[in-house]
Structure 1
């Protein structure tokens, strides 16, 4: 409940038809003027209808919700309710939210952040709610409004079987059943609503691939003949999902696994894919985007077309529009609701992270053009260098949060 208080007295209160001199004379005529402590009337409260408050808050981006919970108890209760998401559903509200796991290697700490975006600039806001321990070498994927984080290592590269899920509606989390095999720096991707985790351990045919059924919450190993080109260690640089396949960047080759038929493909050092693919990359609409520091195609960003097995430049973006001083495995390129986000170290301030947002457009002839919409300093630390270990987009589609409107209303009535 939002309460609006109104105090009478002074220039904003009292009898509007009396001047200040008349009010003063009335006070002086009081029998015991020394007992007059306050002439203001009691506060008048006006309640903002709950339905109106739901509509207002429903249209507020999720990145503001953490701050709204500190305003009052009414906001906390509303933001934690299913009713708010039903209201967002009714009004057709959807949004993309960027989550980042930022580490400070000097302090051995890892913290989750949300990218707060406005018309003027963007910046990372730390999530202060109780988030799970996340280990180096973890793999992460998203399904709907959830982030799944698996594996990682502790100590001297001791792999883990841990698996957790984060509900981005409320920034809550819980443990999932452990994987059957410990893994770190594995490849991961979502195909047909299931999570496939590949490698992250010594190569062997019987358990190199593991799949998680998110509905049944069951892990199963997938027997598969490992490709000969794959590194024996199973430690991968990066992976993306395109055209129903999980593409993997390996040390000496590129791999692709198609889960529906269990088929593998591989491309060696001399292939077009291996020629320009680096860890600093992401997939947008089944095309692979990557930074090309050599400018081999005359532009800093290149696009790989898997159907044609060819790289082409992203037109319209120049090196002068990318004010980063470093592009390494700690930097990230992210698909943000169909746009391209680039995050990396900022020129002149080695401890800062800059974000460049690029809108993509396909023009005549299939050529893709980029338009730099914003450049923002999103993270700064005067003492320690920051590394982005995980960066991904959660697309909160509210029709996925509830089965039907009637079912949610039944649940709400049951609770009431």
Structure 2
């Protein structure tokens, strides 16, 4: 007589109602949401649901910061794609392609506003006359078109968020400078501004021809001319954390800090071992504010292999005014022939 077939064990979590599962997932870091989505169709639907976002917002201390990197591949089929930083099972970090998002326009401008990344300008390989305006929802990894830009801008425009509005600076030709203003509340473009309240200022024309641009708020009492020290430093990128500008100095291979109150530059101490000994190995360096910490991204070529590194640095201002950094982690996040176009941190 054959023994009765044992019933297969059931997964208890699958028997829970959706609202309970959503509450559980809401307490898990968003870095693990892609893995949760891969479990089954039900979990994938819950991770992408508005209910999960509402549950996360209702939980205190659940705001998270997620790094998104825009990489352009080289070759005949060059594409500009969106990647985000995720934690590996072994504790390391890697950049993963967000496959649900399409290829981005070439030479577009990217700006982050909360949980959304806005894309302005650029062109596709098939039509250079486009007036692109897109919005990426980082909560669900979806993209929606925005109203068409009032005018087509050549080259890469500069976009800056201020008080719920996105100011887009660019040129309709090599001589005509224009400013377009997008209202994020009404989701509409405002009439063309001839004298915008903020201005685009070019800080540096470096030895390699790179131009770093910063937006100046003309409504503030502090005059731009008082920050004259900013004009004499070789910047590759810049971010602001607690009223301090941070930048990688490619000439001296150092992380530098500019205190806007003391009006002086200083070296970030304690991170010397993080930087490559040969400064010529550092390509496409970027620094970005990662929830109060500093993310340092750069590309390094070793034996014709392109390694893209990322390091998280905790910052501390000591009593003597010196700024020290502690490297929380440093990993090769992706390997391949890419150009780093932009790095942005979305907040959930």
Asked if structure 1 preserves the Cα contact closer than 8 Å seen for 2:248 and 2:285, the reply is no
Partner of 2:34: 66
> 1:99 Cα deviation (Å)?
0.7
Partner of 2:195: 224
Q: Structure 1 stretches of 5 or more lacking a match?
A: 1-26, 28-35, 227-243, 397-416
Superposition RMSD on alpha carbons, in Å? 3.2
Q: Distance in 1 between matches of 2:312 and 2:152?
A: 36
Q: How does 1:16-35 map to 2 (within 5 A)?
A: 27=1
Q: Structure 2 stretches of 5 or more lacking a match?
A: none
From the superposition, tell whether residues 97 and 43 of structure 1 become closer, same or farther in structure 2 (CA, over 3 Å). Answer: same
Higher strand share: 2
Asked if structure 1 preserves the Cα contact closer than 8 Å seen for 2:308 and 2:335, the reply is yes
Q: Distance in 1 between matches of 2:226 and 2:31?
A: 41
Q: How many residues align?
A: 332
Asked if structure 1 preserves the Cα contact closer than 8 Å seen for 2:294 and 2:313, the reply is yes
Q: Distance in 1 between matches of 2:7 and 2:127?
A: 66
Per the normalisation by structure 1, the TM-score is 0.71
SS of match in other structure, 1:53: helix
1:117 aligns with 2:87: yes
Asked if structure 2 preserves the Cα contact closer than 8 Å seen for 1:256 and 1:264, the reply is no
1:194 aligns with 2:165: yes
Asked if structure 2 preserves the Cα contact closer than 8 Å seen for 1:267 and 1:273, the reply is no
After superposition, the C-alpha distances for 1:237-275 in whole angstroms (9 at most, x for unaligned) are xxxxxxx9866445488664326479984699xx42121
1:374 aligns with 2:332: no
Per the normalisation by structure 2, the TM-score is 0.83
Considering only CA atoms, is the larger Rg found in Structure 1 or Structure 2?
Answer: 1
From the superposition, tell whether residues 42 and 377 of structure 1 become closer, same or farther in structure 2 (CA, over 3 Å). Answer: same
**Candidates 257, 260, 274, aligned match of 1:321:** 274
Asked if structure 1 preserves the Cα contact closer than 8 Å seen for 2:70 and 2:343, the reply is yes
Q: How does 1:25-104 map to 2 (within 5 A)?
A: 27=1, 36=2, 39-43=4-8, 45=10, 47-48=12-13, 49-50=16-17, 51-92=19-60, 93-104=62-73
Q: Distance in 1 between matches of 2:222 and 2:129?
A: 27
Q: Distance in 2 between matches of 1:137 and 1:294?
A: 26
Partner of 2:116: 146
From the superposition, tell whether residues 360 and 46 of structure 1 become closer, same or farther in structure 2 (CA, over 3 Å). Answer: closer
